[in-house]
Amino acid sequence: MKRYLVGFVLGLASILALAPITGVGQTTTTAPYTPPRTPEGQPDLQGVWQAINTAAEDLEAHNGRLGVPAGQGVVEGGVIPYRPEALAKRKENFEKRFTRPITHELNETTGDPEAKCYLPGIPRATYMGLPFQIIQTANNILMSYEFASATRMVYLDRKPEPPANSWMGWSIGKWEGDTLVIDVTAQTDKTWFDRAGNFHSDAIHVVERYTPVSPYHLMYEATIEDPKVFTRPWKIRMPLYKRVEADIQPLEFKCVEFSEEFIYGHLVNKPGQ
């Protein structure tokens, strides 16, 4: 017994020897990061950023399957709070996600919009696994995405009304300390959140938060509200990583060129026809 006790004490002593020394009542803390400023005094978020996770495949935690890596999920609390009828629709979306759009009706109602090269919407554009660029001025912020050359303007100095619902929605921004907060409305109901069939209606309201936490990281949060589809608001959260290559720039991903056979193949005569 004494031998075990001596071993325990020696082990504990070695751990304490490695612990940081502080004064009585003091704790070790890390000072919050203060980002650089633009000439106008705003936090400077400019650069090329990229999410590195599997959210584009499925926001929720998921096992690996053919062509899809396993993922831990980015949904706060783990589960998207669907209404029962909407949960059934999500299941149908997943089962029919690669349905070929050979008729107008199928194109409008069935299959992942990304596979058909439609613009991804918000928040999906953020975590598609492709880089995107943030460009700031005093009054506006431009976000430019690789996928399908998608862009959106974030208005900081005014709150113009959206002319109509659109694929990338309508973005009104403000600063809360060093955090950029973007209120996104007026999105079409035709975009999905991921390849797993998670979806929304035209009542979707997204509030995004971009918080610099180091010279190379933004913490991204998006709170989603849609009473037609979900029982309550819910949140996703993930880090965004700054690309630091000297010559980094978003490139073009012309989706239609790579998906032409899937989208339009049924309209083209095959050899021998």
- Residue 242 maps to a domain: yes
d(CA 68, CA 157): 42
| Tokens read off for 236 | 């996703």
Q: What's the angle, vertex CA 235, arms to CA 231 and CA 241, rounded to 5?
A: 160
| Tokens read off for 247 | 């010559």
* pLDDT at residue 26 is higher than 70: no
The better pLDDT of the pair 128, 264 is held by 128
What pLDDT shows up at residue 33?
95
- Residue 130 maps to a domain: yes
What rounded mean pLDDT belongs to the chain? Answer: 88
Residue-wise pLDDT for 162-221, tens only, equals 999 999 999 999 999 999 999 999 999 999 999 999 999 999 999 999 999 999 999 999
| Tokens read off for 85 | 């009828």
- Residue 228 maps to a domain: yes
d(CA 188, CA 173): 20
CB 114 within 8 A of CB 197: no
- Residue 106 maps to a domain: yes
Q: What whole-number percentage of the chain has pLDDT above 70?
A: 84
The number of folded domains in the chain is: 1
Counting every residue written for the chain, the total comes to: 273
Report DSSP state, residue 12: H
Domain that holds residue 58: 47-63+71-267
* pLDDT at residue 268 is higher than 80: no
- Residue 92 maps to a domain: yes
Average pLDDT value for residue range 144-171: 96
- Residue 27 maps to a domain: no
CB 124 within 8 A of CB 187: no
Of 12-16, 68-72, 187-191, 202-206, the range with the lowest mean pLDDT is 12-16
What pLDDT shows up at residue 156?
97
Match 């696994």 to its residue by tokens. Answer: 129
Residue-wise pLDDT for 75-118, tens only, equals 999 999 999 999 999 999 999 999 988 888 898 889 999 999 99
**Greatest Cα pair distance in the chain:** 90
- Residue 212 maps to a domain: yes
Task: Quote the pTM value.
Answer: 0.85
- Residue 273 maps to a domain: no
